[in-house]
Structure 1
Amino acid sequence: MLFWGCLMVANNIFRLAMILSSGQAQNFQTNLRKLVKLVLYDNFEIPIKLTQIQAIIEEQYSLAFSDLELLSAIKKDSDNIIINTCTDPVNNTYQLQPEAFKKIQEKQTVNIDEYISMFLASEESEDSWEFETVKELVYKFLYFSFNSDTKTVLELMNRKTSETKSYCVSDEFTPDEAKIINAFLNWNYLPKNEFVLNLISSCFDYCMLTVKKDTSSFSSIFNGKEFYLDSNIIFRLAGFNKVERQVSIDAFIRKCVDSGIKICYTNHTYAETKSTIKYYVDGLKKLLGKKEPLSREAMQALSSKYANLDFHDEYIKWCKIPTSVVGDFDSFRKYLERIVSGLLSPFKLVVADNYDTHSNCKRFTGLCDDFTEYKSKHYKNTYEGAIKVDINNYLYILEKASANDATDFMQLKYYFITADHCLTEWAAIQRPGVVPMFVLPSVWYSILLKYKGRTAEDYAAFCQFLNIRIAPERDTQLAQKRAMLAYIIELNEDHEIKEQIIFDIRERLSDPQVTVEDPIAFVEESHETIIQSRVAEVRAESDARHSKQMKDALDEAEEKHRLEREQDELGNAQKIQSAKEESFTSGQDDIIKKQAQGIVKRHKGILITFWGIVGLGILIFLATFILSYFVGDKEISIEIIKWLDENSKAIKVISGSGSALFTVIGIILRLTKVLSTNEDYIIKKLNNKYNRK
């Protein structure tokens, strides 16, 4: 945790950084005027002397300037600074103009606390992290990063510093603290990224003030430079060491190429990339054999917390390629080597000597031993092959620099870019007081961004560079975990059961009281638990399936019974309806027959009446004629007979007309059957009539 005094120093650094980064000033005088105005801003209401300005700058910012340098800067900014003259110039006092005060006040709003609050509200944060804790950690980290980069840049300028400590930022924080800082740095918020970059890269402006030179003096520093990449940079660039690291390294390399810097790598580094690939592929082969790879989560559960599983992830992706064969690790190794070779194709391969075989090999051996001891003290891996590669590269760069005879980083052409903090620190210790040749990419990136354009990608990439490498904590059960993982992979179980066993073991090991005496027995306990669980699941599924089958059978029988009942009910209803219809039909026939008989009877009555009237008329006429002839007036009868005799033709016509009339009436009655006396016809006609209704 930071003490309040240290927090105040950090605040001074942040304020100065924001002032220096504002406007991207390119010369010493401009930056010095900014610094003087910042001092006058802090003492706005009190006019102060030149000696006081000198003392405040040295006390707060560890910078020393002569009277003439300060006076020259002040006189060139008379529009913003009030000079209260006295007879003795030594007693002159200085104040800031109110308008200048307001301008600086607007730029003094440092939003880092606001950024921290926003970060704690984001998904990248954890609920247990408190504002004050995170604030102190972030302030401390930025303070150390600024000072570390300042020291490195001053050394690049071949400027000796009073600071003798070689900063290793990761040594200043516990793994839990580093986790919080890395989460803040990786939180992708552009204003925060811009603030962090401006703050750290302003160390370059601070160094310009220290060496009292214009930034433009170093505008040609990139000309003719050659950057040699370490294998850890190459693997990051290939994406074998976290995707976010690939993005940041790719942005850095592209910025170097755009600036005219030649990117190189030695034969030692290239050989190391191949041996590293072989090492990890052989490890996968030994562990997995012909078995399918487990998920990353399962592998992580029984591996070191900081184990490199990137090659395992690449193997999973490779196995999904249609032409790949699970277990063909030679093909997988060649696949990775092709990726690296293709990646390095635009860069220059430089063949360096193998200093291990030189006549002066004792020096080589001594450097290897010294570097191994240094890495051991910092809890780093000390693989002999990697140590020899680093020393070969160290001696090669040293040899190139000696031939170059450079005195500062403008003249020095050759640099080795590595992500290995131990290597940069050890190399600086080996050659104190000279321009460092083994440099972290973040240092050169901040210098590049001072002269070249900045993008949102650059801000995010720079924050990624600042991530603290968390030193692995000692896992007392790591050997047992590895033995258990190897045993589980060989089990004759499917992929899913293996992972369930691993997750069960992970849960058991989360209890700090649990220890693993016998790894195989420990696995078998979880194995038995998972198998019993699966058996119970299968039994439950079987019971559920049986219950469902029984229920389906009962439902089917019930449905069948229901359908049969409905069929019976439907049959009965149809019978009843049929009986009703039959009864109705029978009754209807009787009614129609009786009605038809009535109609026939009525028709007969009408016909009898009609023909009776006609016959009666004829009889009355004949009777009248006969009576009149024999009893009455004979003359009338004689006249009638005479008329009939004389008009025989007319009588024939009348007789024929009458016959025709009666014939027509008979035909009409027969055709229309209006007065039909045929009972069957009338019944049929009545049935048709009722059916239409």
Structure 2
Amino acid sequence: MENNLYRLGALMFDDDSSSFSRKTTIRKIIEAFFVLKENCTVLCSELPELVKDAFDIELHIDEIQKVLYNSKNFEFIGGHCQKQHSDYCSLQVHLTIKRYELVSQKEYYNSIYRYIDEYYNSDEEIRNIITNEEFTKLIEDFLYSVFVQNIAKSSRMFDVSIDKKDLLTDLKVSEERKKIINSFLDYDDDNKNKAIYNIGSLAIEYVILNGGIDLQSQESNILKKVLYLDTNIIYRLLGINGEQRKIKVRNLISRCIETGQQIKISYTSKKEFFDSIDYQLQKVVRYPSNIRYTEPIDNAIIKDYYDTKSGNAKFYRAKVQAEYEDLIREFSIVEEKYDFYGTARGKDRLAIDRYASSIAGYKNKTLKEALPDATNTYYIEKLRSNQGKTFRELKEFFLTSDKNLINWETEAKETYPVTIYPSNWLSIILRFGSRTNDDYRSFVSFIRNVPHEEKRDLDVVLATMQVIAQKAETAEKQKALFEIFVENEYESILKKSNFEEKIIYIEETIPPYIDRMFEEQSEVIRRLEEQSRLNTIKQQKEIENLRHEFEEDKSSDDKQRLELCEEKFNSEIADRKLRLVISIIVFIGCIIGLIYTLPNILSVDNTNKSKILIEFFISSISFPVLLWSIKNIYKTSSVKSLKQDLLLKEITKQEIDLLLENRNKLFLVVLFF
């Protein structure tokens, strides 16, 4: 079913429609079925069973009949679908060719497999770890787990009894595989994010169809909901858990407000938030230090304190207070002033304490730590006491990213759930309106895996970093010293009974590690210097080799060039030889002609006028031809003229000088020898 699920998701939301028509949803499911089966012809009466086998969605024959009867997207064999449809209808049906081609094209562009292949082929590191088939299966299994888990969440929300846990195989993957899944989810592609959203949100359609819910009638009720924010949501809105979480949660709250929800913070949540800030700051006030390396600190408040380089606990507290007040104004959040637990009496107080005890046991927390969750949960139940028992009737919800609290409520309570996870609520409200690329990106970020990392005791980390910050100034040196020290001394520090003893132990034992760090750094510097020296020698050899290769190439090119120039030069000389011979012959002919004709012309005794006329004509022609031959002989035998012609043949002046070396400007000898 998994592969079919992804293909259905690609077609259900292909047009970003916010229509809630059950008929439209059923039509898209039937169209998706025919695309899946390559538009084969089937009996109308068999469609409910075939759809059930393909997508595990139950549709009644009457619902299918209404869609087929009113749609022009289907073709029938043996007649046309009638209003009064028989369970044993023998009509055969398939999509029209035009509709099939259109829907198939949409499936290709929306298919998650397209983006799985593109990402795998673009990431060489992943290709070196797993095959394309393994990568595809890994993403399939993860998205299927999201789909089934969302069925459970949506079933709780709409009070529909659908248990699909049997479909969910235990997705146990290594930390390396989790990082691979997250890398696919994190890479920035709006169309990929939309494809993942389509699959995750398909769970809502699944619950709506199988539960017989009229979602359209519930739109106004969703818009009237009131969301109370848990402390962990406030952390994220203020960026204490990091900038990325801040962006995605702010986007969620903005969408909630746009779709009409009212945002509130209870007295209990506000008190828990600022109490947690004050409690954590007490740890940094006792031992102020210049901690630069904060990666090992597994505490959002303390890590944020050092990351923002506040340097003063009072200043940081004032900064958080100001940012909190800005948040209240920005989102028009309602702050409640009523201390519900402080004024609770009788059965209300007993119920809260009972919840606190149960939550503390489930989450492995103290009663004091569990009390805010217990108070908020019971408080919202109390607000709902006269509202009814269905999603449509209930108004208040508790938005939290605490999965343990949500799981506790699922297992420990039978009443309608109070808690709701951000991604589940986001998929609901996006079902009611247009969706943007930021919305898809937020949805994907909410379903990311959280890689399991070995958590170190916070007091051990803080005590170690407090001492290290006095010994090393830069983040790089603090990191190097922390890693070698904690690797060897963690268990010993952990055994110390209080923070002060940890500090004393670290100060006594750290000097050898400082020496070791400097020795390692000196060794690194020595290796770098040696490597630099070797690299210099290597580079010099490479330069010499390159120079030698260049000179060889240049010599070869020069030789080829010289041969080409000599070829052009010899061609020009041969041409000039021919022209010079012709000019000399013409010159001699003209001289002979003049010697023969001039005496007769000048003779006074010559009475043959016709002969004189002919000789005069010959003489008149011989003079200009003689001048032309003299000029041509000079030009042909001139070095200057030769240079000009050789330049026209793309031979440089230097090359011409080389060719004419030791030759006279008048080089008749050159032409003939």
Question: TM-score interval w.r.t. the shorter chain?
Answer: 0.5 to 0.7
Q: CA deviation at 1:12?
A: 1.2
Matched, 1:334 2:318: yes
Bigger Cα Rg = 1
8 Å CA contact retained: 1:371, 1:387? yes
8 Å CA contact retained: 1:516, 1:522? no
Q: CA deviation at 1:265?
A: 0.8
Distance 2:151 2:260 in 1: 24
Alpha-carbon displacement from aligned partner over 1:621-647 (angstroms, at most 9, x marks no partner): xxxxxxxxxxxxxxxxxxxxxxxxxxx
User: Which segment is superposed worse, 256-265 or 37-46?
Assistant: 37-46
Q: 2:59 aligns to what? A: 65
Q: CA deviation at 1:215?
A: 4.3
Matched, 1:363 2:324: no
Q: 1:495 aligns to what? A: 473
8 Å CA contact retained: 1:355, 1:392? no
Distance 1:41 1:494 in 2: 65
8 Å CA contact retained: 2:148, 2:164? no
Which amino acid in 2 is paired with 1:420?
Answer: D
User: Which segment is superposed worse, 517-526 or 184-193?
Assistant: 517-526
8 Å CA contact retained: 1:54, 1:65? yes
Q: 2:649 aligns to what? A: none
Distance 2:368 2:36 in 1: 56
8 Å CA contact retained: 1:441, 1:465? yes
Q: 2:667 aligns to what? A: none
Matched, 1:32 2:26: yes
Distance 2:102 2:274 in 1: 57
Which secondary structure does the structure 2 equivalent of 1:222 belong to? Answer: helix
The alpha-carbon distance between structure 1 residues 81 and 339, as it changes in their structure 2 partners (threshold 3 A), is: same
Q: 2:153 aligns to what? A: 152
Which secondary structure does the structure 2 equivalent of 1:411 belong to? Answer: coil
8 Å CA contact retained: 1:39, 1:53? no
The alpha-carbon distance between structure 1 residues 240 and 140, as it changes in their structure 2 partners (threshold 3 A), is: same
Q: 1:12 aligns to what? A: 4
Alpha-carbon displacement from aligned partner over 1:13-53 (angstroms, at most 9, x marks no partner): 11111221123243111221222233334445753223422
The alpha-carbon distance between structure 1 residues 100 and 440, as it changes in their structure 2 partners (threshold 3 A), is: same
The alpha-carbon distance between structure 1 residues 143 and 532, as it changes in their structure 2 partners (threshold 3 A), is: closer
Which amino acid in 2 is paired with 1:17?
Answer: G
Q: CA deviation at 1:78?
A: 4.5
Q: 2:89 aligns to what? A: 90
Q: 2:450 aligns to what? A: 469
What stretches of structure 1 of length at least 5 have no aligned partner?
1-8, 320-325, 377-381, 541-693
Distance 1:78 1:534 in 2: 76
Q: 2:291 aligns to what? A: 293
8 Å CA contact retained: 1:166, 1:425? no
Which secondary structure does the structure 2 equivalent of 1:233 belong to? Answer: helix
Two-structure CA RMSD over aligned residues (Å): 3.5
The alpha-carbon distance between structure 1 residues 468 and 259, as it changes in their structure 2 partners (threshold 3 A), is: same
Which secondary structure does the structure 2 equivalent of 1:295 belong to? Answer: coil
Matched, 1:53 2:47: yes
User: Which segment is superposed worse, 133-142 or 385-394?
Assistant: 133-142
Distance 2:521 2:40 in 1: 81
8 Å CA contact retained: 2:33, 2:54? no
Q: CA deviation at 1:533?
A: 6.8
8 Å CA contact retained: 2:398, 2:419? yes
8 Å CA contact retained: 2:398, 2:420? yes
8 Å CA contact retained: 1:119, 1:125? no
What does 1:257-296 align with in structure 2 at a 5 Å threshold? 257-286=257-286, 289-296=287-294
Percent of residue pairs identical: 19
Which amino acid in 2 is paired with 1:506?
Answer: E
Give 1:21's match in structure 2, choosing from 13, 19, 37. Answer: 13
Distance 1:349 1:528 in 2: 55
Alpha-carbon displacement from aligned partner over 1:174-220 (angstroms, at most 9, x marks no partner): 54433332222222211111211222223333333223455432331
Which amino acid in 1 is paired with 2:141?
Answer: K
Q: CA deviation at 1:435?
A: 3.8
Q: 1:347 aligns to what? A: 333
Q: CA deviation at 1:448?
A: 1.4
Distance 2:525 2:10 in 1: 66
Give 2:513's match in structure 1, choosing from 505, 508, 526. Answer: 526
Distance 1:19 1:538 in 2: 60
Q: CA deviation at 1:248?
A: 0.7
Distance 2:181 2:520 in 1: 42
What does 1:153-302 align with in structure 2 at a 5 Å threshold? 153-163=154-164, 173-213=173-213, 215-286=215-286, 289-296=287-294, 300=295
Q: 2:629 aligns to what? A: none
Matched, 1:506 2:483: yes
8 Å CA contact retained: 1:268, 1:392? yes
Q: 1:459 aligns to what? A: 440
The alpha-carbon distance between structure 1 residues 514 and 274, as it changes in their structure 2 partners (threshold 3 A), is: closer
8 Å CA contact retained: 1:27, 1:213? no
Q: CA deviation at 1:375?
A: 2.1
Question: Structure 2 length normalisation: TM-score?
Answer: 0.67
Distance 2:313 2:8 in 1: 55
Distance 2:301 2:184 in 1: 23
Question: Structure 1 length normalisation: TM-score?
Answer: 0.65
Distance 1:13 1:180 in 2: 22
Distance 2:327 2:32 in 1: 48
Q: 1:423 aligns to what? A: 405
Q: 2:363 aligns to what? A: 375
Which amino acid in 2 is paired with 1:410?
Answer: R
8 Å CA contact retained: 1:355, 1:395? no
> Structure with the greater relative contact order (CA < 8 A, sep ≥ 6): 1 or 2?
1
Distance 2:361 2:95 in 1: 56
What stretches of structure 2 of length at least 5 have no aligned partner?
494-504, 528-673
Q: 1:312 aligns to what? A: 303
8 Å CA contact retained: 1:170, 1:470? no
Which secondary structure does the structure 2 equivalent of 1:220 belong to? Answer: helix
8 Å CA contact retained: 1:508, 1:514? yes
| Aligned residue pair count | 502
Distance 1:124 1:463 in 2: 23
What does 1:515-554 align with in structure 2 at a 5 Å threshold? 520=506, 523-531=510-518
Distance 1:41 1:121 in 2: 27
Alpha-carbon displacement from aligned partner over 1:69-100 (angstroms, at most 9, x marks no partner): 22222112254232435998533332333223
Q: 2:395 aligns to what? A: 413
Distance 2:292 2:39 in 1: 69
Which secondary structure does the structure 2 equivalent of 1:264 belong to? Answer: strand
